[in-house]
Amino acid sequence: MFDFDPTNTFTCGQAFRWFPAGKLKKEWLGIASGYIIRATNKGVELVNRPDHTKDFPRFAKRYFSLDDDMFHIFSSMPKDEYMDSAVKKFRGLRILTQDPWECLISFVCSINKNIPSIRAEIESLCRRFGEPIQFGNNRFFSFPDPKKLAKATKNEILSCNVGFRWKYIKFISESVASGELELESRTRRTYADAREQLISELSGLTFGVGPKVCDCELLFSFHKLEAFPIDVWMLRCIRNNYAEKLEIQGLVNGRRGLTPRTYEKIGDAMRSYFGEYAGYAQQYLYMKIRNDSIQNRALV
């Protein structure tokens, strides 16, 4: 069964270059690895690069994580009324397996930003440093090559409205372009080893590229499904629904921010509770807490 809902998948904050093709959000267009893709709940279709038609099914299977057995994933989790409600409401949300380079820069852009602002930053970077791709009357842009971003000046990167994040973008671009930061090596490592290595390699930036960005990179590009990114929404969700049950009230109450050590302890507690597919739990819980909050505000 093709258990995939594009709206739930593309609005949960894991990818930022997908756009609804109509007001009803039944059809989406996106660009990934140079492919322009049309996605509906019935399937996905390549709409450019006809010479790559034979290669696309393999790419799509990996990118949309179509080998993930959703029934098995959710059956393995503990009985949980709040989680069950999220799964029913946001069925078809799949964790994507994105390009590691694009994913890492995207989540650097996400630091202290909401989803619309992240989309705008990334689109500016692509327009400024990417290559144009024409599709009908629409003009898309590829994600910038690391070598091109590595050569960019501070002011050129700042022109994309990324603010203080420019220094992280520059640092990572130079590290990837030089080969010092080899992202693909994470594929062969366990989640724990990959996380420790990535945080260590990004330690040249002591503020910004921390455990949350690293968890997003490992979950959304390397499919390390134990990763459990914790932002302000997840902290609220955990505080309201899991802190007492998991006896971690002291870790989540009365804190404006999380130290790396506290972040790790909370993540370990959520992994222990939800198991090896905690990353899927995180995405469904994120959608529920955020959407419930938006709906409650609308009713006030």
Q: Is residue 272 part of a domain?
A: yes
Same domain, 215 and 240: no
Q: Is residue 240 part of a domain?
A: yes
Q: Which residues of the chain have pLDDT under 70?
A: 1-2, 203-208, 254-256, 298-300
Same domain, 182 and 258: no
Q: Which residues of 177-196 are buried (b: 16+ CB within 10 A; e: fewer)?
A: beeebebeebeebebeebbe
Last residue of a domain, one of 195, 222, 249: 222
Domain membership of residue 117 as a residue range = 98-222
Q: Tell me the HSE value of 114 on the side-chain side, using a 13 A CA sphere.
A: 2
Whether 211 and 268 have beta carbons less than 8 Å apart is answered as no
**Amino acid identity for residue 92 in this structure:** G
Same domain, 105 and 216: yes
Residue-level pLDDT at 139: 85
Q: What's the rounded Cα separation, in Å, for the pair 223 and 282?
A: 13
Contacts of 113 (CB under 8 A, 6+ apart): 121
What is the number of structural domains in the chain? 2
Same domain, 152 and 262: no
CA distances in angstroms from 184 to 104, 176, 199, listed in the order given: 12, 11, 15
**Amino acid identity for residue 124 in this structure:** S
Residue-wise pLDDT tens digits, 97-148 = 999 999 999 999 999 899 999 999 999 999 999 999 887 777 889 999 999 9
Residue-level pLDDT at 256: 64
Residue-level pLDDT at 135: 79
Residue-level pLDDT at 1: 42
Residue closest to 248 by CA, chosen among 164, 117, 124, 240:
240
**Amino acid identity for residue 278 in this structure:** A
Q: Is residue 24 part of a domain?
A: no
Residue-level pLDDT at 149: 96
Same domain, 246 and 283: yes
Residue-level pLDDT at 106: 97
Q: Is residue 249 part of a domain?
A: yes
Average pLDDT over the chain reads 90
Residue-wise pLDDT tens digits, 64-97 = 999 999 999 999 999 999 999 999 999 999 999 9
Residue-level pLDDT at 137: 78
Give the single-character DSSP code of 145: P
Residue-level pLDDT at 299: 52
Same domain, 216 and 249: no
- Please name every residue paired with 134 in a beta bridge, in sequence order, or none if there are none: 139
